[in-house]
Amino acid sequence: MGRGEEGRGVPLSVEELKRIQIDCAKKVIQRDDYGKLETVGGMDLTFEKIDENPTRAWASLVVLELESLKPVYSHVVEDEVSFPYVPTFLAFRELPLLLKLYEEAELKPDLYFIDGQGIAHPRGCGIASHFGVETGEVSVGVAKTRLFGYYKEPDKKRGSYSYLKYRGRILGAVVRTKDNVSPVFVSVGHRISLKTSIELVLKTSRYRIPEPTRLAHNLLQKVRRESLGY
């Protein structure tokens, strides 16, 4: 994704960033393309000062057994993030730290839940798809807000969902993971079907978001507070 160019301090134009995303979207596999799924991981990222650039940032991975949802591994990395926040280009800001986390992890899960969009993106490649294509891993995007597309609100009961669409094409699903709680936006990241993505989000969600991602978020908040002396 042009990390070498960025690393040399050569800025990429918006058109170049769009081209990278379009090329990435062509490589996404939207079918179940894996063996056994025994472990699932959740990744999250947070910043010291979200509105400053550069800023210190932390990323976390928590891995759970799929059947028991018992945590079996966790890891946190810290680094400086210098790419600015630009809507629809989130991966260029956050992915380098997620890749560092991935490379350092001693236990890699069979599937990754990424806090963000997969193919439910204007150019078909949000951060979850970027991560999957870059690493070759199975990934699912689970976002708390809609980025792109339109949908009808699903029923208030857990397990209900409606499709997220654009010009008649299905981009993802709006899934109710808990009764009377705001839904999450699920989309294919890489090497998985939307149907299986929805099933796994529901299977792993005790609260609003999948348990691996929720625990990764909680771990990150603890590390951030300790690092900042709160």
Residue 7 has pLDDT above 50, yes or no: no
84 compared with 194, residue with greater pLDDT: 194
Does domain 3-228 bear CATH number 3.30.2170.10? yes
The kind and range of the H/E element at 227 are helix 211-228
0.85 cut: is pTM over it?
A: yes
d(CA 200, CA 221): 25
Does residue 164 contact residue 146 with C-beta atoms inside 8 Å?
yes
Identify the pLDDT of residue 10. Answer: 41
Task: Tell me if residue 200 falls in helix, strand or coil.
Answer: helix
pLDDT grade for 5, boundaries at 50, 70 and 90: very low
- Give the angle subtended at the CA of 145 by the CAs of 21 and 20, to the nearest 5°: 5
Identify the pLDDT of residue 11. Answer: 62
The pLDDT tens digits for 174-191 are 999 999 999 999 999 999
Identify the pLDDT of residue 230. Answer: 79
Pairing type for strands 71-81 and 55-65 reads antiparallel
pLDDT grade for 60, boundaries at 50, 70 and 90: very high
Residue 87 has pLDDT above 80, yes or no: yes
Does residue 103 contact residue 95 with C-beta atoms inside 8 Å?
no
pLDDT grade for 6, boundaries at 50, 70 and 90: very low
Q: Which two tokens stand for residue 130?
A: 């970027």
The pLDDT tens digits for 97-111 are 999 999 999 999 999
Helix axes 127-135, 90-104, angle to 10 degrees: 40
Q: Which two tokens stand for residue 76?
A: 């946190």
Among 187, 197, 178, smallest CA distance to 40 is for 197
Which residue is associated with the tokens 């379009």? Answer: 22
The kind and range of the H/E element at 96 are helix 90-104
The pLDDT tens digits for 116-127 are 999 999 999 999
What is the C-alpha R_g of the chain?
A: 17
First to last CA, the chain: 36
